[in-house]
Amino acid sequence: MNPVAMTPVATNPPVATPFFFYLLAATMIIGGILVITRKNAIHSAMALITALLAQAGLYLMLYAPFVAGVQIILYAGGIMVLFLFVIMLINLERNMKERQFNKQWLVGGIAALALGGLFISVYLKTTNAKALFPDGRLSYVEGQNTQAIAALLFDRGAGQYMFAFEIASLLLLVAIIGAVVMAKKRI
């Protein structure tokens, strides 16, 4: 099966309308701002979950339901639960009273400006600015997304990312074993 053979088809009017994009993008940005401004770590975590779910919605709009599903399972359902788990073990009352001592706003501001500048320069440099934002919408059959990803990973001919995928998972395994070894004196 050829992963590139995703053919655009004319189906029902796509749900990926600008309205939903702006809605999800706004949710993400507001969530992101709340993450860094809330003093209560649990509130930050909840805001982060909102942002991650909105991101899953954006993936759906890009006709990548598989990526969206994995995003929900891994980030919102898995990692964030562990985050909350750890935060609950911390004594929050003391943290709430302390002033936030993070003094990295200068570095952060410079980095944000640089990134913003990069985006704007790319937009300006492109001779045909429209090329970044295509006029027509290609609507792929959602049905092909999962199979296409599987083909990219595992297909005999076209599968190019198998090695990288396995190496990444091996790296994670090493990290897990390392954490266990460091945490436990006697195994």
Partner 1 sequence: MHEFLQQYVFSYLDKDLTPGGAGSVFWATVYILLVFGGLSVAVIAMNWLERKILAHMQVRLGPMRVGPHGLLQPIADAIKLLLKEDIIPAEADKIIFWIAPFIVVLAAFTVFVVVPFGPTHAITDMNIGILFMLGVSSLSVLGIVTAGWASNSHYPLIGALRSSAQMVSYEVAMGLAVVSVIMMTSLETGTGTLSMIGIVQAQQTQGVWFVFKFFPLGLIGFAMFAIAMVAETNRAPFDLPEAESELTAGFHTEYSGFRWSLFFLAEYSAMIAVSSIAVTLWLGGWLRPFPSVRGPVITIPHIWTPADPSAGALDFVFALCPGIAFLLLGAMCFYNVRRMPKHPLFKIQTMGLAGFGAVLALIGLILFIPPVRDRVEDIFWFSAKVAAFMYLYIWYRGTFPRYRFDQLMKVGWKVLLPMGLALLILTAIVGMRTDLWAQLTGAVQP
The verdict on 142 binding partner 1 (CB under 8 A) reads: yes
Nearest to 139 by CA among 21, 6, 18: 6
The verdict on 80 binding partner 1 (CB under 8 A) reads: yes
Q: Which stretches within 72-104 are classed as H helix? A: 80-89, 92-97
The verdict on 1 binding partner 1 (CB under 8 A) reads: yes
Among 18, 134, 136, 143, binds partner 1 (CB under 8 A): 143
How distant, in Å, are the alpha carbons of 5, 7, 148 from that of 157?
14, 20, 13
Contact predicate 27/54, CB 8 Å: yes
The verdict on 161 binding partner 1 (CB under 8 A) reads: no
Stretch that binds partner 1, among 62-70, 97-105, 125-133, 177-185 (CB under 8 A): 62-70
- Smaller CB separation from partner 1, 92 or 113: 92
The two structure tokens encoding residue 9 = 């088809």
User: What letter would DSSP give residue 12?
Assistant: S
- Smaller CB separation from partner 1, 93 or 135: 93
Question: 112 Cβ partners below 8 Å, 6+ apart?
Answer: none
Stretch that binds partner 1, among 63-71, 124-132, 163-171, 179-187 (CB under 8 A): 63-71
Contact predicate 31/51, CB 8 Å: yes
Binding residues (CB under 8 A) for partner 1: these are 1, 11-13, 40, 42-43, 46, 49, 65-66, 68-70, 72-73, 76-78, 80-82, 84-85, 88-89, 142-147
